[in-house]
Amino acid sequence: MKKIIKDACILFAITLVAGVLLGIVYDVTKAPIANQSEKAKQEAYRAVLPDAESFEAIEGITCSDDSIITVSGYVNDEISDIVAGVKGGKIVGYVITVTDGAGYGGDIKFSVGVASDGTYMGTSILSISETAGLGMRAKTDPSFLSQFNGVKVDSFSVVKDGTGSSADDKIDAISGSTITSKAVTNGINAALAEFKILNSSNVKTVGGAGVE
């Protein structure tokens, strides 16, 4: 009986020490991990809205990874982050982070930049698990995403075999990866729909910047 109690006490002591050490490691690494995450996020913002000097939260919108916005009509798309790009005290555009759940390999998460006049500025893929050499070209082959850049439309649609290359709102699908192409395009359309809502709402940032 005494041996059982002794063994139990030793086990308890080991568990207690391990728990304390894990807590210390968590406290030590929490700030660096958060800083690295924020740095990656800021880099993604700058990549898709390079004209902005800084990025600010929008007053009244508490969107985060734990607060998802689903845009009406886009059942496969969820928006997890919205910030305004600011320059000279004015909003010059928005960065909207979308997750589309209809990719061939699952969720595709990316940030998009839209200038305040509605011009599409760029896309930064944050996570994707599509087929190597096919759907992964959405991230690795810039020719696909570049089709959206510099265009001002309400929405895009995907076409095959280059039939839409002369129309601003038509996007040529990645060869052999129509599902991936449509998933990314639908996510971008959800972001554009959210942009239209923001742009018609006379929003301001938490720092007081507005469009005008």
pLDDT score recorded for residue 64? 57
Any residues with CB less than 8 A from the CB of 71 and at least 6 apart, and which? 77, 79, 190, 193, 194
Any residues with CB less than 8 A from the CB of 208 and at least 6 apart, and which? 89
pLDDT score recorded for residue 34? 53
31 — pLDDT class (breaks 50, 70, 90): low
pLDDT score recorded for residue 72? 82
Asked which of 17-26, 70-79, 95-104, 167-176 is least confident by mean pLDDT, the reply is 17-26
pLDDT digits 0-9 by tens, 99-156? 999 999 999 999 999 999 999 999 999 999 999 999 999 999 999 999 999 999 999 9
Per the CB < 8 A criterion, the answer to whether 123 and 188 are in contact is yes
Question: Is residue 195 in a domain?
Answer: yes
pLDDT score recorded for residue 91? 95
pLDDT score recorded for residue 162? 63
More confident of the two residues 35 and 79: 79
Question: Is residue 190 in a domain?
Answer: yes
For the chain, percent of residues with pLDDT exceeding 90: 61
Question: Is residue 183 in a domain?
Answer: yes
Question: Is residue 109 in a domain?
Answer: yes
CA-derived radius of gyration, the chain: 22
**Partners of 83 in beta bridges:** 57, 95
Q: How many domains does the chain have?
A: 1
Question: Is residue 142 in a domain?
Answer: yes
169, two tokens: 């709102």
The pTM (predicted TM-score) of the whole model is 0.80
92, two tokens: 């010059």
Taking the CB of residue 49, how many other CB atoms lie within 10 A of it? Answer: 25
Question: Is residue 33 in a domain?
Answer: no
Question: Is residue 132 in a domain?
Answer: yes
Q: In whole numbers, what is the pLDDT of the chain averaged over residues?
A: 86
pLDDT digits 0-9 by tens, 73-90? 899 999 999 999 999 999
Question: Is residue 7 in a domain?
Answer: no
- Could you list the residue range(s) of the whole structural domain that residue 108 is in? 54-199
